[in-house]
Amino acid sequence: MPPKGKGRGGGGHKGHRRHFTTPEEVAAQQEKEEKERQWRERRNDGGDDDEEDGVKSGSSSEDGSSEESSGEEEAKKAKGVEGLIEIENPNRALHKPKKTSAQVVTDKEQAAAPQLSRREREEIEKQRNKAHYEKLHAAGLTEQARADLARLAIIRKQREEQARKKAEEKRLADAKAAAAAKK
């Protein structure tokens, strides 16, 4: 439904320029369409006979220009993302050669390295460093391991001393009980 006040003239904005096609432009457009139509007919009928038809029709420069225009048409046909998307039939069975386990392992090793992202590489490197540190820690070569071992040695001495004191007290208690039993 047209907006009110515009009338029947199809609307549009007032300030647009009008474009009229000159008779020469109309003739040139018709000639171009005729050449394209002839070229398509030759292409569909002849196949390899394009060169012979081009010689019969006159000049080869016209033939070349029509080929260029057809290339432009092919480029125009792929609109949007259609040219980028490869359509594949999901029901088509692909024949893949079977791989042995040795090939699979080497393929995985080769494919794993270049396909890792920066975060994945950093994570793997972090895990390797942690495992290396734990190995050194278990061997007692890190500062933290030395501090832990020193602390454990102190605790062990304290416990041995407490055990000796307990044993001494027990021996004294037994001696007192034996002395009381003799009396």
pLDDT in the model for residue 138: 86
pLDDT band at 51 (very low <50, low <70, confident <90, very high): very low
- Give me the domain span that covers residue 152: 117-182
pLDDT in the model for residue 44: 87
More confident call, 125 vs 70: 125
Flag whether 53 is in a domain. Answer: yes
pLDDT in the model for residue 133: 92
pLDDT in tens, 104-158: 666 666 665 568 888 999 999 999 999 999 999 888 888 988 999 999 999 999 9
pLDDT in tens, 31-43: 999 999 999 999 8
Flag whether 2 is in a domain. Answer: no
More confident call, 109 vs 180: 180
Flag whether 88 is in a domain. Answer: no
Flag whether 17 is in a domain. Answer: no
| Number of compact structural domains in the chain | 2
pLDDT in tens, 72-87: 555 556 666 666 777 7
Is residue 65 within 8 Å of 71, Cβ to Cβ? no
Single out the residue in 35, 53, 71 at which a domain terminates: 71
pLDDT in the model for residue 167: 96
Terminal CA-CA length for the chain:
129
Q: How many CB atoms lie within 10 A of CB 54?
A: 19
Flag whether 170 is in a domain. Answer: yes
pTM of the model: 0.30
Cα–Cα separations (whole angstroms), residue 158 to 16, 153, 168: 101, 9, 15
pLDDT in the model for residue 132: 94
pLDDT in the model for residue 140: 84
pLDDT in tens, 78-116: 666 666 777 777 777 777 777 666 666 666 666 655 688
pLDDT in the model for residue 1: 52
* DSSP line for 74-99: HHHHS-TTTTTPPP--TTSPP-----
Flag whether 102 is in a domain. Answer: no
Single out the residue in 15, 36, 71 at which a domain terminates: 71
Flag whether 128 is in a domain. Answer: yes
Closest C-alpha to 63, from 32, 28, 39, 29? 39
pLDDT in the model for residue 155: 97
Whether 16 shows a pLDDT value over 80: the answer reads no
Single out the residue in 42, 71, 100 at which a domain terminates: 71
Flag whether 20 is in a domain. Answer: no
